[in-house]
Structure 1
Amino acid sequence: MVYTGQPSRGCDTCRKRRIKCDERKPECLHCVRTKRKCPGYRDQFDLAWRDQTVVAKKSVERGKRGHKKEERERHHSSSSSSTQIIDLTPIVEDFQEFSPPTLLPTPSPSPTLRGPPEDHALCFFFTRYVLPQRDPLARRGFLEYTLPIYSRSGPHSPLKLSIQAVATSMLSGAMNQGDDPPLARSFYLGAVQHMKERVIEQRDCADDELLMAVMLLQMYEQLVGRTKKNTSPKAHLDGALALIKHRGVGNFKGDVSRGLLYYVRSVFVEECTRNAKPMPRGIETWSELSPDSDQIPTVRLDTIMVDIANLQAYSLPLLNTTELPAGVRFSRLMQTINYLTDIDDRLTSWSWSLPSTWAPIRVSGKQSIPPNIPQAGLYEQYCDVYASIFIASLWNKLRLSQIRTKNLIIGCLSQVKATPNNIKLREACQLGIQQAVDDICASVPFNIGDRMQPEDKIVHYPMAPGRPVPNDHYQSGPAMGGWSLLQPLGAVWGMKLKMRDGQRQWIGGQMARIARIYGIRRGKG
């Protein structure tokens, strides 16, 4: 769909002659000198969208060759054993009439499914990721809207093919067969081709369906990127931003449209804070379009994180520069500390504004913590229980924002005079960072329980006294628990934070455990 390289912005004549264009308007200098009529420049919307069909085809062919090789190896190694058959819940044509089935058993590494694999993948995707009910205030604006739009889509729509690509990738990963099987890649290729046709014709470019398909392809690339040690791809995200600009932000009306808009903003926020980049201009005002945005905790947190991303992008170069006069640099550092302190207060106020039912419940003892959890992963003698995986992820998102903010304050304080007030602020920030790291560690048992291997069929989770583990958690935990921990654990592990002795090693061990469970290939370190 979106070309991942840097597309040429020159005129058609310069591009065909493969020479550098100075992009002057209305005519480039080369065309003027050669006395040619300059054909002009392509629209910026078109530049964000490029055909990746050839690349995707080559990837599919490589995947098919690798798949055939794996099949031969599996057949050779298991020729003396019987094949396991998994009897899944029959697929219902109308997903609106689904009722979530019992927990899908985690299959062995090489099971055989009865019926079309794409049907099983769709069942797995909708029942585990789409249909589970959420708190009305826990709207994030993406997967919960896929079902009604999916039911209205044609058989070859980009959305339907994108969902099939993501669903097949997720099911293949859950079966420990990798996240980029040939079938998933073929669905991806089909979605790319049909999306290309619509974009070229500028047909349905102002449609929620097309924007949702783009974000699903972004999700697919993230899944594949994690297992192939790639960085998070940003090309589809740039394509989504191009669609939004083409459509006009003011034309996003209704819950679905605005929910998608908030989701794209949330992905940009996480991408920019992770890479210390400023937010694209204009995104910070998107939340002002909805009258109820102040009531949605995720939207309010993202609004604060927009400021964190921009201030982080500003302050990091300031900490490393020696070119400014001492007085100017000191003034800017103190101003940055004041801004960061204000953001830290806003994050605290946000946590106080959450519904009481969202507060984590700290538990300890054998009655609340199953016996295998301490051996699997329990940092202290306690852990926290949440209302849902989504709410646990939201709390960890807050904690990671607090860690980044307080760590920047410490960095700025290290380059100014150590007054009593500055020393006191530094110590408070260090204590706050340690508390946030401890709380992230305390969320690990709730997210992944005592699971150690991908083939573990029975997983136990901690529970609050008198509150048994909800049935939904036995679906959402294995499906999303480990994935939701990757960013907070990975960010804390990679930061140069002052933590308790052995805590960083414990976090690294939990990351290795998650990588083993989900088949993620970890890079060096």
Structure 2
Amino acid sequence: MVYNGKPSKACAHCRRRKLRCDLRKQACGQCLRAGLACTGYRDPGQLRIQDESESTKQRALGFKSRPITSAIQVPLEETARAAFFSHYVHGFSTTYDVLELIGGQSGLDKHLAASVDAVSLAFFSFQYDAVSALKPAREKYLSALPLVKAALGAPELLASNSTLLAVLLLDLFEKITNRSPISSESWMSHVRGALVLARLRDPAQLNTYIGLRLSVRLFTNMLISCVAANAPIPPALTKLHIELQPHVRGDDPKWRVSSLVMKYANFRGTLQGGLLSHAEVLKRAKKLDGEFSSLARDLPPCWISQRVALQKPSSTVLEQYYDVYPDYFTAQACNVIRMMRILLNDLIRQTYLSTVAASGYLEPQALNVGFASHLIDSMAKEICAAGPQFVDLPEARNRPSNSSPSRRMHCYTLLLPYYVAAFSASPETGVREWVVQRFRSMATNLGIKNAAIVAEMLERRDGTSPWSVYATLGSYAFAA
């Protein structure tokens, strides 16, 4: 008897008597008397574990392979919408996080859904250099326009959150696809329309998260649009700023920056009239620069950067150090302050030089020109020191990983501050040459085409206005 390859007791009896019952082809008498059916010993070859891998492989090769599943085709619109949400709602920028809250209440209204589709395709085309998405983006945009117009004619939708958001998204579409603010009326048409809508809304909506968030977004978008297009600040925007004041933290650095930028925009508007004397220009410019400087000194401790010195020379930093910020958004806000100070001091420097040209004597103004240049160079170097943390240094703290989708956007939003620094800094600082190298690196290693375009502007020294560059880069479409 065999059990699990081992002989039974009866077979053990056979072994003690040295009987070869397995060769007799019958059971021995002892086994029969014990009432057991002895089958004898098994063939050792049957008990041996053998490697059947090769024979199994050969049998498998005899069958025709078939794919288990077919490839999943995700529609372009769904892919684009997912990219848009991952950037503007959940990811790098939460600028339009209210979209999820509005959609979660009762689903998206048709005009809002159409606007989301249009701007999603436009963003996808830019972010992933997907030319195939640009045509359907424009088609969706054209189909969204009549839907938004119909919503404006419906009393229940006219002043709704969904309608205001839809118009803001159409404005975002224009900023992504249209880079010529001076020559195109459409570049500001939607944000102007949104400002009109805001006047029709119940003031109580500022007490809600969605209402306040949309109004602050509208204020910021309209303000920056005016600055970039060199347009005057409309009275309605000034009124909106006053209405928002009680609902925001007065000590919020970002709000304080926005308020000072508004003063800067009004100052630029006054300059366009050409009615200010050199003395008045200098007085107002210095006063505003002092306010930006005061804001920079009063930043919360959690905003303060830490300087890190490099042990070895590196082409990825201008001077042998870089600054580490708590996060990208803090660094961005600090760079806005520096850009404003550079632009103001460049105006101060040019005004002094104009005075020199008129009088023919440099000596009285040489010290003032030198001081303005010193401030510009200092701000330019600080901008350059703020970039490596997010772009070039693999050992830098709080740096996005190479695989992070936000890293490319981090680099992209550095284009404007880098350009302003290179545009205005003194030649002896080497800022222009260093920035051009960084732009070339971004274009080559990260595929940022606009980095190469801006690098060429600096190399040509064609004097392109920083605000024109800002519009070319997509304005606030890609900044937080």
TM-score when scaled to structure 2?
A: 0.67
Per the alignment, residue 507 of structure 1 pairs with 435
Offset at residue 338 of structure 1 (A): 2.0
Offset at residue 356 of structure 1 (A): 1.8
Give the match's secondary structure for 2:413. helix
Deviations 1:53-74 (A, max 9, x none): xxxxxxxxxxxxxxxxxxxxxx
The within-5 A match list for 1:104-503 is 114-132=73-91, 142-152=95-105, 154-155=107-108, 157-178=110-131, 180-226=133-179, 233-247=187-201, 252-289=206-243, 290-291=245-246, 292-315=248-271, 317-318=273-274, 332-365=277-310, 374=314, 377-416=316-355, 423-447=366-390, 449-450=391-392, 461-464=394-397, 469=399, 474-478=404-408, 480-493=409-422, 495=423, 498-500=426-428, 502-503=430-431
CA contact under 8 A between 2:181 and 2:229: conserved in structure 1? no
Aligned amino acid, residue 357 of structure 1 = C
Give the match's secondary structure for 2:307. strand
Q: 2: distance between equivalents of 1:200 and 1:217?
A: 18
Give the match's secondary structure for 1:310. helix
CA contact under 8 A between 1:284 and 1:303: conserved in structure 2? no
Deviations 1:66-85 (A, max 9, x none): xxxxxxxxxxxxxxxxxxxx
Aligned amino acid, residue 287 of structure 1 = H
Higher-Rg member (1/2): 2
Q: 1: distance between equivalents of 2:236 and 2:182?
A: 32
Offset at residue 423 of structure 1 (A): 4.6
Q: 1: distance between equivalents of 2:281 and 2:324?
A: 36
Offset at residue 280 of structure 1 (A): 1.4
Offset at residue 301 of structure 1 (A): 0.9
Give the match's secondary structure for 2:232. coil
CA contact under 8 A between 1:399 and 1:437: conserved in structure 2? yes
Q: How many residues in Structure 1 have an aligned counterpart in Structure 2?
A: 377
Q: Is the deviation greater in 398-407 or in 125-134?
A: 125-134
* Cα 1:356/1:239, change in 2 over 3 Å: same
* Cα 1:116/1:237, change in 2 over 3 Å: same
Q: 2: distance between equivalents of 1:113 and 1:180?
A: 19
Aligned amino acid, residue 463 of structure 1 = A
CA contact under 8 A between 1:218 and 1:237: conserved in structure 2? yes
Offset at residue 227 of structure 1 (A): 11
Give the match's secondary structure for 1:295. coil
Aligned amino acid, residue 344 of structure 2 = T
Q: 2: distance between equivalents of 1:253 and 1:166?
A: 28
- Structural RMSD (CA): 3.8
Q: Is the deviation greater in 205-214 or in 497-506?
A: 497-506
CA contact under 8 A between 1:389 and 1:477: conserved in structure 2? no
Deviations 1:37-63 (A, max 9, x none): xxxxxxxxxxxxxxxxxxxxxxxxxxx
Q: 2: distance between equivalents of 1:175 and 1:509?
A: 23
* Cα 1:362/1:519, change in 2 over 3 Å: same
Q: Which runs of 5+ in 2 are unaligned?
A: 1-69, 458-480
Offset at residue 180 of structure 1 (A): 4.8
Deviations 1:278-304 (A, max 9, x none): 211242343332423413222211111
Q: Is the deviation greater in 149-158 or in 435-444?
A: 149-158
Q: 1: distance between equivalents of 2:311 and 2:73?
A: 41
Q: 2: distance between equivalents of 1:298 and 1:218?
A: 22
CA contact under 8 A between 1:122 and 1:167: conserved in structure 2? yes
Q: 2: distance between equivalents of 1:340 and 1:229?
A: 25
Give the match's secondary structure for 2:153. helix
* Cα 1:501/1:339, change in 2 over 3 Å: closer
The structure whose residues are more often helix, as a share, is: 2
Aligned amino acid, residue 82 of structure 2 = C
Deviations 1:349-388 (A, max 9, x none): 2122322222233224369x9xxxx55x433332223222
* Cα 1:270/1:228, change in 2 over 3 Å: closer
Deviations 1:8-30 (A, max 9, x none): xxxxxxxxxxxxxxxxxxxxxxx
Give the match's secondary structure for 1:204. helix
Deviations 1:475-519 (A, max 9, x none): 4323x21332233234455x5653436432433444455556234
Per the alignment, residue 32 of structure 2 pairs with none
> Looking at both structures, which has the greater relative contact order when contacts are Cα pairs under 8 Å and sequence separation is at least 6?
1
Per the alignment, residue 456 of structure 1 pairs with none
Percent of matched pairs sharing the same residue: 21
* Cα 1:244/1:337, change in 2 over 3 Å: same
CA contact under 8 A between 2:401 and 2:407: conserved in structure 1? no
Q: 2: distance between equivalents of 1:264 and 1:506?
A: 36
Aligned amino acid, residue 380 of structure 2 = V
CA contact under 8 A between 2:182 and 2:229: conserved in structure 1? no
Q: 1: distance between equivalents of 2:252 and 2:205?
A: 20
* Cα 1:496/1:472, change in 2 over 3 Å: closer
Offset at residue 310 of structure 1 (A): 1.4
Q: 1: distance between equivalents of 2:205 and 2:90?
A: 28
CA contact under 8 A between 1:172 and 1:179: conserved in structure 2? yes
Offset at residue 274 of structure 1 (A): 3.1
Deviations 1:309-328 (A, max 9, x none): 1112223553xx8xxxxxxx
Q: 1: distance between equivalents of 2:82 and 2:167?
A: 21
Aligned amino acid, residue 260 of structure 1 = L
* Cα 1:176/1:469, change in 2 over 3 Å: same
